[in-house]
Amino acid sequence: MTEKNDVIEDIIEKAKPIFGNMTFGAVMGYCSGIALQKVGKALAVIVGIGFVGLQTAASMGYIVVDWEKIRVSVVSSIDQNKDGFFTADDAKIFWQKFKKLMVHRVPSAGGFSLGFLYGVRSG
């Protein structure tokens, strides 16, 4: 038995014009967001294990780690505007480059950003 005034059906009916333009891009954004979140978590585990291993070896006297040199090297490699710091402006530049790459020649990519954000949050 179906309801005559189903809220979801009403919303779908009202959103028909949006579905055609945004669905593909939003779905691709969502999937990309989930994938990037999973890769990010795996990378965080690898970096964390590396840090624990290096710090343990350093504290036991096996090696000497120059953390300041590592910090400078990492910051200089991700500093997009070459101001010497990793800031929100650098993150924006990374996002612009990433989005340009992801939506290149993708039809109706208008919903990519929203889908990506939702995928990162929910994945």
Q: Is residue 13 part of a domain?
A: no
Is 19 inside a domain boundary?
no
User: CA-to-CA distance for 110 and 118, rounded, in angstroms?
Assistant: 14
Q: Do residues 25 and 115 make contact, with C-beta atoms less than 8 angstroms apart?
A: yes
Decide which of 123 and 64 is more confident: 64
One-letter amino acid of 114 = L
Residues 116, 30 contacting (CB under 8 angstroms):
yes
- The structural domain count of the chain equals 1
Predicted local distance difference test score (pLDDT) of residue 112: 87
Supply the pLDDT for residue 6.
80
Q: Look up the domain containing 59 and give its range.
A: 24-122
Instruction: Indicate whether 110 belongs to any domain.
Output: yes
Does 6 fall in a domain? no
- In terms of pLDDT, which residue wins out, 44 or 103? 44
| Residues 87-95, mean pLDDT to the nearest whole number | 93
Which pLDDT does position 1 carry in this prediction?
47
- Is pLDDT above 80 for 20? no
According to the model, what pLDDT value does residue 60 have? 97
In a domain, 57, yes or no: yes
Task: Give a yes or no: residue 9 inside a domain.
Answer: no
Q: How far apart are CA 47 and CA 45, in angstroms?
A: 6
